[in-house]
Amino acid sequence: MGSKVYATPSSCFQNLKERGVLFDGMMCMVGGFGLCGIPEQLIMALRDTGVKELTCVSNNAGVDDWGLGLLLATKQIKKMISSYVGENEEFARQFLSNELEVEFNPQGTLAERVRAGGAGIPAFYTATGVGTQVAEGKETRVFATPNGGQEREFVMETGLFGDLALVKAAKADHFGNLVFHATARNFNPEMATGARITIVEVDEIVETGAIDADEIHLSGVYVDRVVQTVSEKRIEQRTVSAS
């Protein structure tokens, strides 16, 4: 089996337009939490393709000058499906001026929607958000809870499955087997399984077979393209003591 490794972030996008994956209005799944574990170089390469009217599924929208904030600055994002966006002033400006559509999700619900989409599950029920704005316009049902049989109300949420996933990992082999580093794993494995094509940027690439099977966090069957990059690893909120 041939290598999935590409030379540069931009080369990872070659032929995707011809394959019907890269197009205006597509849904893009993006890993990361804040600035931790974001596919920063792939986001810049996606920006440079010029695609627009994107629906981006991500925990957050980065900051004003980094991460998905770069796509907001060029107004290539039409809609964000997120759980937190409090660090991005441009996001707030576009949202308040009706330039950007936003679909907020409780964080656990967002993770499960992506996981469900990747598993082929069209919808599921959760108690999170019942009786709040989160549940408005959605189907609800009463079920007996698994831990004792008490009945309570649940809201139906749909799975999410995108056209393209951009993911960050610490290590990959040529087949695309991935190892994530600590909390940088966050949303990345779920995003990788939740799209037609998955591109991963990594800090290190090793030969296939060099990663012990028990150490692999995500199988390469979910990965289509891999590129090695040098991450800037910015700090989202730097806090230091007065002394």
Residue closest to 78 by CA, chosen among 57, 52, 104, 103: 52
Amino acid at 220: G
Q: Are 129 and 109 in contact (CB under 8 A)?
A: yes
DSSP helix, strand, coil percent of the chain (3-state; round to 5): 25, 30, 45
Res 236 pLDDT > 80: no
Q: What is the mean pLDDT of residues 119-129?
A: 97
Q: How confident is the model at residue 241 (pLDDT cuts 50, 70, 90)?
A: confident
For residue range 37-79, list pLDDT tens digits in order. Answer: 999 999 999 999 999 999 999 999 999 999 999 999 999 999 9
Average pLDDT (135-156) is 91
Pick the closest to residue 174 from 223, 207, 215, 212 (CA basis): 207
| Total Cβ atoms within 10 A of residue 150 | 9
**107: pLDDT strictly greater than 90:** yes
pLDDT band at 239; cut points 50, 70, 90: confident
How much is the mean pLDDT over the chain? 95
The two structure tokens encoding residue 79: 């809609």
Q: Which residue has the higher pLDDT, 34 or 219?
A: 219
Residue whose C-alpha is closest to residue 60's, from 40, 39, 79, 88: 88
Q: Which residues pair with 27 in a beta bridge?
A: 55
Tell me which DSSP letter residue 222 carries: G
Q: What is the pLDDT of residues 148-193, one digit of tens each?
A: 778 999 999 999 999 999 999 999 999 999 999 999 999 999 999 9
Confidence of residue 1 (pLDDT cuts 50, 70, 90): low
Question: Which run of H or E residues covers position 89?
Answer: helix 89-96
Q: Which domains does the chain have, with CATH numbers?
A: 5-122+160-228 (3.40.1080.10), 123-158 (no CATH)
Inform me whether the pLDDT recorded for 116 exceeds 80: yes
DSSP letters, 174-206, are TT--EE--GGGGTTHHHHHHSEEEEEEEEEEEE
* pLDDT over 90 (residue 231): no
**Helix, strand, or coil here: 44?**
helix
* pTM exceeds cut of 0.85: yes
